[in-house]
Structure 1
Amino acid sequence: MKRKMRVLASICALTLALTALTACGSSSTTKENTPSDTNNTNNNNNTNVSTEAAKDTITALLPPVSPAYQENFPQMEKDFNALYPNLTLKIEPASWEDMTQKLDTQVNAGSPPDIAFLGSSGISKYVEQGMALDITDAATQEMIADFDQAPLEYMKNGSGLYGFPAYMEVHALGGNKEFLEKAGIDYKKIQQEGWTFDQFREDIKKGVVSEGGKTSRYGFVFATAGVTSKDYLSILVKNAGMPAAFDKDLKFAYTSKNYLEVLKDIRVMIDDGSMPKELSSVDAGKRWNMFLTGQTMITGKGLAVFENSANKNNEKIKANDGSAVKGSIPVEYIVLPVPTFAGQKAQASAVVDGYVAFRGKKEPTAEHKANVVKAAYFLASGKVAATTNNDLFAAHITKSGKKEAESMTVNRNPDNVAAVEAMLKTASPARPDIPTDLGAKAIKLEDEVIVPKLQALIAGEITPEAMYEAVKTAAIQTFGEDGVVKD
């Protein structure tokens, strides 16, 4: 594996003084008897453990993947130890806001956790740094066969497999059913057939409520601040003929004329009053509060779990127990697809996040590597996966998870289930063919140029044309004249 300890510019300022997790566990020579996995009551389909095995600790850095996910950490650790008495799973919780900072600090110190939860699109960065652990030779055939093939492909880079997927969902939009119906929007048709940007723009105008020059409800609000700063543009451009940062010829795609069209469309929705002028300050929390309090008809990005979150808030309102979001109203959440741009076909933004394996400065032993794989598989399959995905309202992607979920109940709107299924059929495919160096360069360009320019565009400080030229110039400097799309 190519080892480069290059620190990306976007994380240079991070302090290395933060306490890092113990890297890659620790082994001792203590032996103890362990039961065969054929008696595994958790249905995680793990391979047999030898009767004599050394004690080992596997560390994991995990954010709040689902609303109740982190509440289950003690039980996860207990269940894993019951399955493997010689192994200890030590979980460190992190918020979504500080997850990347914690992980990068530990990676840069050469002492990352054994497992970290992250988006599949970020794998190339750590492969390029030489810190992601290829588990191809340690993952058993039984483990591999448990997963649906499509999401598993997202955890690959080149010929290597770097972890197991937790779920495969699509980034969608979410609508308030009452407001959609009052605006005369046929959301059921849109759920199945999609909509163009021109149609979308006219529909969100219908959702705006203004009086005396003051807007009390917008047609559309998308979180663009904080951890969501990359989401807005990256989701939209997929539906503009750019499903990945590189085309099939490995040319950087965001120099396409369609990229400029998306930038223009982003700005026009603010200029015509369909979105707030203060959009650049809307983070994920504010976006969701605006939706629950009736300040917007449509919100983004939306995942299936938002329906569950809305339902739970509705229950709190009904119970009048004071725990509901302040000022919130009952909301029936409707899943909606992202509109298409520039006459392109729908290519839903697939989100595959999962449990990625890491290595420290030293190559881990074969035994420890196998233990890391057991822990990653434990988290991504069986009871843990079924519980997490049901909490997320996400589809199950393992046979073992589907089996466990049979005894669990989920109250989902069938129209939303059908809408997600329709979008998954158009989901952009995995791109393990993108070389790690190109992937790392694209992430660097996004962090240093695209995100700050997008913030300036949304704030009205620069024009779409100015942002496009800045991205194009930086792309040519990074990938060369022949390494970018010219159309």
Structure 2
Amino acid sequence: MKYGKWLSIGMVAVIATVTAACGKAAETPNAGGTDNQSSAPDTVKVWTYPVHGKYEDDIKLLVADFNKTYPNIKVEYEVMSWAEGPKKFDVALNAGNPPDLYFGGMNGQYVSTGLALPIDSYLTDDIKKDFLPGTLDTMKFGGKQYGMPLYQSLWGWGANKRILEEAGVDYKKIQENGWTWDEFLEAAKKLNKKLPDGNTQYALVTDGTSLDFLDMITRNAGLVDAVDEKGNFIWNDSKIADAVTFINKLVKDGILPKETVALQPAKRSEMFYAGQAAIISKAIPYYDVMIANRNKDIDSGKVQGEKIEYIQLPVPHSASVKGYGVTTGGGEGYIAFTQKGANNEQHKKNVFLVMEALSGAQAGNSANELALPFVRTSQAKAFEGKGLAKEINFTVSKKMRESLAPQVALSIDVDKAAKLKQYREQVEKPVFQALLAGEKTPEAAVEELKSKGQQMLR
């Protein structure tokens, strides 16, 4: 999921064209016009999104700085809305005319079109070394590099510090060492209670409309996905039963609200803000900034409610999973494309130059604004001492990134990835929702997940 969605869903598309400066291009090898430095400017088209609240300011400055070095490359960019942008991109891709650079997560279906552009030949050793270990891999498919990330998304749990302290839950120990399912269940006994106004304070709240919660729990049962990185179906042993049984216990014991199956993400957040839930699932590090801004609005009278001090937590794990636990997430950044029938090598090099400019040191402001660990050493250096996240939470985010689960869909072939997507929508989602609603027993849920998985993913 894109972090900018938390503030930017529905934003009207903004189109901005940055015209290259006049004059002779900088004397840089293999950069400039389509044929030589004296030719007309080469246009590189970029489609992006409001990655964070101030991203339009970021990209404007990044492009202006780029053109100081490469005045003969014209960068034409469009900041699209999260609601409409994906549809527009799919239409363009299917028509064989995608933009040169598109912001998003890596997807094997892009490669299957034959239009995704491998950038391995343009990546220098210095650029590779600048990226922190594992970060570039989030934009690979089939062993080839197609993009460079601006940040790595991280899904965890988040908590209301006041409620944890009142219940005597040692959140600092959890942040330092992680915690097991049993340890969470013990804490939940203290966190679940009736409030003076008659409402229930739940230990945990999540939405039941997506598979995000199921992903986090199954990965912390020791299952990277329904298939492993070789495409083998793996939801056929006791680990999937452990995960399903744990989720069922959360529902049966009232640790999750009984209406979880119908909860939308917005309602989940509303309950957390209202103090009706101690912990919220799929809490991204950006909550640190969002809640700090909400607290300012409460101080100014724009918003009514209790100010919250946010605590980032890792997802608890089964006893069979050692260490800190497993983090769900992935890389999001710029992916390179060519157009049907196009084969201009100079233009491809120029596309890469723009990608590097939009992903370099100063582009680290996106990770900074989103309270995420930086993906490049140069970014961390450029924004040292300027972090927006509280140190206590930023430290946890770095630990979470170190335990990030591999993205299976990027290592298996396109056909198997398509079948996995079908299995998730046609089997996982309805089974998960039936479990939450109490319409399926854990045993029946496990049996359906196994039997249909063996049919669809063998």
TM category (shorter chain) comes to 0.7 to 0.9
Aligned to 2:358: 379
> Which runs of structure 2 are paired with 1:29-44 in the superposition (5 Å)?
33-36=24-27
Aligned to 2:265: 284
CA contact under 8 A between 1:131 and 1:359: conserved in structure 2? yes
Q: Residues 211, 173 of structure 1: CA spacing in aligned structure 2 closer, same or farther, 3 A cutoff?
A: closer
| 1:478 partnered with 2:453 | no
Give me the identity figure in percent. Answer: 31
Aligned to 1:4: none
Task: Give the Cα separation in 2 of the matches to 1:115 and 1:47.
Answer: 19
| 1:357 partnered with 2:339 | no
Aligned to 1:8: none
Q: Residues 131, 471 of structure 1: CA spacing in aligned structure 2 closer, same or farther, 3 A cutoff?
A: farther
Aligned to 1:449: 427
Task: Give the Cα separation in 2 of the matches to 1:265 and 1:298.
Answer: 17
Aligned to 2:149: 165
Query: How much does 1:396 deviate?
Result: 1.6
Aligned to 1:6: none
> Which runs of structure 2 are paired with 1:390-409 in the superposition (5 Å)?
390-406=368-384, 409=386
Query: How much does 1:54 deviate?
Result: 4.4
| 1:315 partnered with 2:296 | yes
| 1:125 partnered with 2:109 | yes
User: Which of 175, 187, 196 matches 2:180?
Assistant: 196
Amino acid in the other structure paired with 2:77: I
* Higher mean C-alpha deviation, range 110-119 or range 297-306: 110-119
Query: How much does 1:213 deviate?
Result: 11
User: Which of 248, 253, 261 matches 1:272?
Assistant: 253
| 1:335 partnered with 2:335 | no
TM-score where L is the length of structure 1: 0.80
Task: Give the Cα separation in 1 of the matches to 2:56 and 2:188.
Answer: 36
SS in 1 for 2:405: coil
User: Which of 86, 91, 111 matches 1:105?
Assistant: 91
Query: How much does 1:369 deviate?
Result: 1.7
**Residues 325-355 of structure 1: CA distance to partner in whole angstroms, max 9, x if unpaired?**
xx43211110111011262232222432222
SS in 1 for 2:227: coil
Aligned to 1:221: 205
SS in 1 for 2:290: helix
CA contact under 8 A between 1:171 and 1:351: conserved in structure 2? no
Amino acid in the other structure paired with 1:404: A
SS in 2 for 1:150: coil
Task: Give the Cα separation in 1 of the matches to 2:445 and 2:82.
Answer: 28
Amino acid in the other structure paired with 2:24: N
Q: Any gaps of 5 or more consecutive residues in structure 1?
A: 1-18, 26-30, 38-45, 481-487
> Which runs of structure 2 are paired with 1:41-56 in the superposition (5 Å)?
51-52=37-38, 54-56=40-42
> Which runs of structure 2 are paired with 1:226-237 in the superposition (5 Å)?
229-237=210-218
SS in 1 for 2:183: helix
Aligned to 2:275: 294
Aligned to 2:132: 148
> What value does the CA root-mean-square deviation take over the aligned residues?
3.1
User: Which of 417, 420, 442 matches 2:397?
Assistant: 420
SS in 2 for 1:335: strand
SS in 1 for 2:213: helix
CA contact under 8 A between 1:60 and 1:116: conserved in structure 2? yes
Query: How much does 1:129 deviate?
Result: 3.8
Query: How much does 1:58 deviate?
Result: 2.5
Q: Residues 181, 238 of structure 1: CA spacing in aligned structure 2 closer, same or farther, 3 A cutoff?
A: same
User: Which of 47, 50, 72 matches 1:86?
Assistant: 72
Q: Residues 429, 378 of structure 1: CA spacing in aligned structure 2 closer, same or farther, 3 A cutoff?
A: same
Task: Give the Cα separation in 2 of the matches to 1:112 and 1:456.
Answer: 40
Aligned to 1:462: 440
**Residues 115-156 of structure 1: CA distance to partner in whole angstroms, max 9, x if unpaired?**
222234xx2232234342222223344433332231012211
CA contact under 8 A between 1:222 and 1:279: conserved in structure 2? yes
User: Which of 136, 161, 179 matches 2:120?
Assistant: 136
Task: Give the Cα separation in 1 of the matches to 2:149 and 2:423.
Answer: 26
Query: How much does 1:53 deviate?
Result: 5.3
Task: Give the Cα separation in 1 of the matches to 2:178 and 2:370.
Answer: 23
Amino acid in the other structure paired with 2:159: G
Amino acid in the other structure paired with 2:25: T
User: Which of 241, 245, 251 matches 2:222?
Assistant: 241
Task: Give the Cα separation in 1 of the matches to 2:189 and 2:342.
Answer: 57
Query: How much does 1:409 deviate?
Result: 1.9
Query: How much does 1:411 deviate?
Result: 4.4
Q: Residues 458, 361 of structure 1: CA spacing in aligned structure 2 closer, same or farther, 3 A cutoff?
A: farther
Q: Residues 208, 90 of structure 1: CA spacing in aligned structure 2 closer, same or farther, 3 A cutoff?
A: farther
Amino acid in the other structure paired with 1:174: G
Query: How much does 1:70 deviate?
Result: 4.1
Query: How much does 1:245 deviate?
Result: 4.1
Task: Give the Cα separation in 1 of the matches to 2:131 and 2:182.
Answer: 39
Q: Any gaps of 5 or more consecutive residues in structure 2?
A: 1-12
Q: What is the count of residue pairs matched by the alignment?
A: 436
CA contact under 8 A between 1:32 and 1:52: conserved in structure 2? no
Amino acid in the other structure paired with 1:473: S
Q: Residues 315, 455 of structure 1: CA spacing in aligned structure 2 closer, same or farther, 3 A cutoff?
A: same
Amino acid in the other structure paired with 1:421: K
Q: Residues 89, 449 of structure 1: CA spacing in aligned structure 2 closer, same or farther, 3 A cutoff?
A: farther
**Residues 87-114 of structure 1: CA distance to partner in whole angstroms, max 9, x if unpaired?**
2333333444555444333333333232
User: Which of 199, 209, 214 matches 2:193?
Assistant: 209
Task: Give the Cα separation in 2 of the matches to 1:398 and 1:451.
Answer: 36
Aligned to 1:185: 169
Amino acid in the other structure paired with 1:34: A
**Residues 29-81 of structure 1: CA distance to partner in whole angstroms, max 9, x if unpaired?**
xx9621257xxxxxxxx986574454233333323322332454444444444
User: Which of 32, 35, 51 matches 1:65?
Assistant: 51
